[in-house]
Structure 1
Amino acid sequence: MENIKHSDVQVKGLKLHVAEIGTGSKAVVFLHGFPEIWYTWRHQMVAVANSGYRAIAFDFRGYGLSEQPPQPEKETMFDLIDEILGLLDALNITKAFLVGKDFGSIPGYLTAALHPERVAAVINLGIPFILPGESAVRNDLLPKGFYITRWQEPGRAEADFGRFDVKSVIRNIYTLFSSSEIPIAADDQEIMDLFDPSKPLPPWFSEEDLQTYASLYEKSGFRYPLQVPYRSTNADGGLSDPKVSVPALLIMGEKDYVIKIPGIEDYIRSGVVKQFVPDLEITFIPEGSHFVHEQFPEKINQLIIDFLDKQSV
């Protein structure tokens, strides 16, 4: 960890916080989800650097130490595609491997689909290929207390989160979302009310880790994260039939609550996902949660490195 270097890189008019380790000629760019940040990839960065790759993780715009765009409420997932390409340009990287987690998987897939000349291969954890638009998240198939439905409602998550300090919000979300159950609140509850204060942090997530996440979200707040991804999932980028033509790997924990979202498991296991990502390998981790890369870092590191080593740039 102490060998990871930090810098600010100007991309699309915004200053992005970038973490980097390794001097290999092949670049691996890591894309975080929520409530994550560059730090979520700490184990993977060191491992791929030790295997001869250049590992880069950054805070998306509006997250952590990266700058906020001037009008966050107008942003969508499609802005992150331009951000990924702009970062590659700023770092003089012609072609990179992209590794995404949670919502970070979506701009990773889309960058590969729209700009295959810039992407050698994609690896994603926790989220299969999903095209943003009206059918991206079928809230109607879940109870109205579904966490995404709640967080899409302007002001509701702000009021819910605002009852706690930032560290408590991150603790609550990390603990809740490590479960195999979809976070769904009753009519008289908010999502933060689902957290059991007596429940400890997951054994693979230390107080030091929590403090690192909290310090970065104290800097950025939750304004942008609530917009991207949650309040912009229905934004339509005008893509009718995108295909990810580059090699791809999807890693899913079998105890990941996302598996229980209606239609997701069948979409993956039936192979329908390969209509969009034809050259796709799928690996399930039996005890893996939504944070499988932090839960089982050595196992995930090996899967990533083995896949990367098979590819050519």
Structure 2
Amino acid sequence: MEKIKHSHIEVKGLKLHVAEIGSGPKAVVFLHGFPEIWYTWRHQLIAVANSGYRAIAFDFRGYGLSEHPADPQKETLYDLVDEIIGLLDALSISKAFLVGKDFGAIPGYLAAAVHPERVDAIITLGIPFILPGPDSLQIHQHLPKGFYITRWREPGRAEADFGRFDVKSVIRNIYTLFSGSEVPVAADDQEIMDLYDPSAPLPPWFSEEDLETYASLYEKSGFKYALQVPYRSFDTEGGLSDPKVTVPALLIMGEKDYVLKFPGIEDNIRSGAVKNIVPNLEIIYIPEGSHFVHEQFPEKVNQLIIEFLDKQSI
């Protein structure tokens, strides 16, 4: 970890916190989800660098040590697409591999669809291709109104819920809740934080030191931007009517990932319908994997990532 270099690089007028290790000719850019940050890729950064690649993870704008935009309420997932390409430009990288987890998969896929000349291939964990826009919210209509995304989209509600706790407790609660196989859904008289059982231990693969690191980064940024992007901007149209991701792609799914219980998601993946949009997609399941499969089983995920990268690099 001490060999990872940290810097701030200006992209689209904002200084982004960038973590980097390795000096190979091919670059791999990692895209975090929520409540994650660059640190979520700690295992993958080192493994990929040791395999001869230039490994880069950064905090998206408004997250961690990266600067916030002036008006977060106007931000969408499409701003992160521009940010990914802008970061490649700032680092003088003509083409890179992208690895996206959770919502980070979405701007990764969109970047590959809109800028295929800049993307060698894409790997995603936990999320298949989802096009932001009104149709993406249909999933909410088939889940109880206490569904966590529905709750977090409601202005002020998550702020009040999270505000009852310190930042470290919010991160602990979400990591513990969301590492289970059930979709987090609150009852009418509950908030999402109320679903956490105080007697529940941290997941065995998530240490107190990891929790401290996450908390220290979110104490810097807060949750304001994270609630806007992705949750409150999912329904924003981006002008893509029939996107295609034609670059080689790999989807790694934990069999115990609660996302598979979202309406239509598992059928979309297992039926192969997702390949209508991502035709060159390989899908690999990890039997006991949760939504945080890359932290839970880092050696297995590292192996899958490196084997896929090496196949494209021949």
Bucket of the pairwise TM-score, normalised by the shorter protein: over 0.9
Identity %: 81
SS where residue 68 of structure 1 aligns? coil
TM-score by length of 1: 0.99
Structure 1 stretches of 4+ with a deviation exceeding 3 A read none
Query: How many angstroms apart in 1 are the aligned matches of 2:257 and 2:234?
Result: 20
Query: How far apart, in 1, do the equivalents of 2:92 and 2:111 lie?
Result: 17
Q: Distance in 1 between matches of 2:93 and 2:240?
A: 26
- Alignment partners' CA distance in 2, 1:165 and 1:260: 30
Deviations 1:65-92 (A, max 9, x none): 0000000010000000000000000000
Amino acid at match of 1:114: V
Distance 2:228 2:78 in 1: 12
Question: Cα RMSD over matched residues?
Answer: 0.6
**Alpha-carbon shift at residue 136 of structure 1 (Å):** 1.1
Cα distance in 2, alignment partners of residues 237 and 29 from structure 1: 23
Distance in 2 of aligned mates of 1:262 and 1:290: 16
2:59 aligned partner, one-letter code: D
Task: State the Cα deviation string for residues 214-247 of structure 1 (Å, max 9, x = none).
Answer: 0000000000000000000000001100000000
- The alignment of Structure 1 onto Structure 2 pairs a total of residues equal to 313
1: CA distance, partners of 2:134 / 2:127: 17
Cα distance, 1:187 vs. partner? 0.2
Alignment partner, residue 183 of structure 1: 184
- Paired position in structure 2 for 1:218: 219
By how many angstroms is 1:132 displaced? 0.3
Instruction: Identify the residue that residue 171 of structure 1 maps to in structure 2.
Output: 172
> SS state of the match for residue 188, structure 1?
coil
* TM-aligned CA deviation for residue 161 of structure 1: 0.1
* Aligned counterpart, 2:83: 83
In structure 1, list runs of 5 or more residues that go unmatched: none
User: What does residue 242 of structure 1 align with?
Assistant: 243
Q: Which residue does the alignment assign to 2:254? A: 253
CA distance in structure 2 between the aligned counterparts of 1:274 and 1:230, rounded to whole angstroms: 25
Aligned amino acid, residue 238 of structure 2: G
Match of 2:203 in 1: 202
Amino acid at match of 1:84: I
Partner deviation per Cα, 1:35-92 (whole Å, 9 max, x = no partner): 0000000000000000000000000000000000000010000000000000000000
Whole-Å separation in 1 of the counterparts to 2:5 and 2:265: 37
Normalising by structure 2, report the TM-score. 0.99
1:64 and 2:64 are equivalent in the alignment? yes
Provide the rounded CA distance (Å) in 2 between the counterparts of 1:286 and 1:261: 18
Letter in 2 for 1:205: F
Offset at residue 312 of structure 1 (A) = 3.5
